[in-house]
């Protein structure tokens, strides 16, 4: 996720302080990985340097000055371009799990155990996500669905690999 583009998008509804941006980000996108304040302010500094935001006002308070940021026309254009650009699908061709299975076969360990252990972990994660989805709002339901679909694909791969384990052993442990 592009934190900069997300913060710019949040600014389109109106100027905000860094604290307000962090709170809005965490509420809408950061359920599992909230932003650190340092990330917000370093990102805003970079966006300011590139002309995507401007300081709309500075307020003095009991602590450090609070800058209020506003998105510029260049920032709006940048967000529009980012939204219109499709994300590159992840091909998952460098899978750690595949590497573990092949190394288990090469070192004469039980690769089926690795697949079984991983299947159990995937199912555990799916139960947690399904419970979260059941209790969550629409946004939480959608993000959980995304994760669940990926886990389902992984489970299909685990089953396929388990069914082809002997053929894979023959292919990787060639004399």
Residue ending a domain, choose from 51, 84, 117: 84
Please report whether residue 158 resides in a domain: yes
Same domain, 71 and 105: no
Under the banding of pLDDT at 50, 70 and 90, the label for residue 175 is: low
Q: Full-prediction pTM beyond 0.85?
A: no
Same domain, 102 and 164: yes
Which domain does 63 fall in, by range?
Answer: 3-84
Please report whether residue 152 resides in a domain: yes
Same domain, 73 and 34: yes
Dump pLDDT digits (tens) for 61-103.
767 778 999 999 999 999 999 999 888 887 777 688 999 999 9
Alpha helix positions (H), the chain: 3-11, 18-28, 37-49, 73-84, 96-106, 111-135, 138-163, 165-172
State how many domains the chain has.
2
Please report whether residue 62 resides in a domain: yes
pLDDT of residue 96: 87
Mean residue pLDDT of the chain comes to 92
CATH classification at residue 58:
1.10.10.10
Dump pLDDT digits (tens) for 60-71.
776 777 899 999
Same domain, 162 and 104: yes
């Amino acid at each position: 996720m592009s934190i900069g583009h997300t913060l710019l998008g949040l600014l389109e509804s109106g100027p905000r302080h860094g604290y307000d941006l962090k709170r809005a980000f965490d509420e809408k996108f950061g359920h599992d990985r909230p932003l650190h304040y340092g990330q917000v302010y370093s990102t805003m500094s970079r966006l300011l340097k590139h002309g995507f935001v401007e300081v709309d006002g500075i307020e003095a308070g009991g602590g450090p000055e609070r800058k209020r940021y506003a998105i510029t026309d260049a920032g709006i254009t940048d967000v529009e371009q980012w939204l219109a650009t499709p994300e590159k699908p992840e091909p998952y061709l460098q899978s750690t799990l595949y590497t573990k299975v092949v190394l288990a076969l090469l070192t004469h360990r039980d690769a089926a155990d690795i697949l079984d252990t991983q299947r159990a972990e995937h199912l555990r994660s799916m139960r947690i996500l399904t419970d979260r989805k059941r209790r969550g709002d629409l946004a939480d339901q959608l993000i959980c669905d995304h994760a669940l679909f990926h886990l389902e694909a992984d489970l299909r791969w685990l089953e396929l690999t388990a069914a082809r384990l002997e053929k894979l052993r023959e292919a990787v442990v060639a004399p």
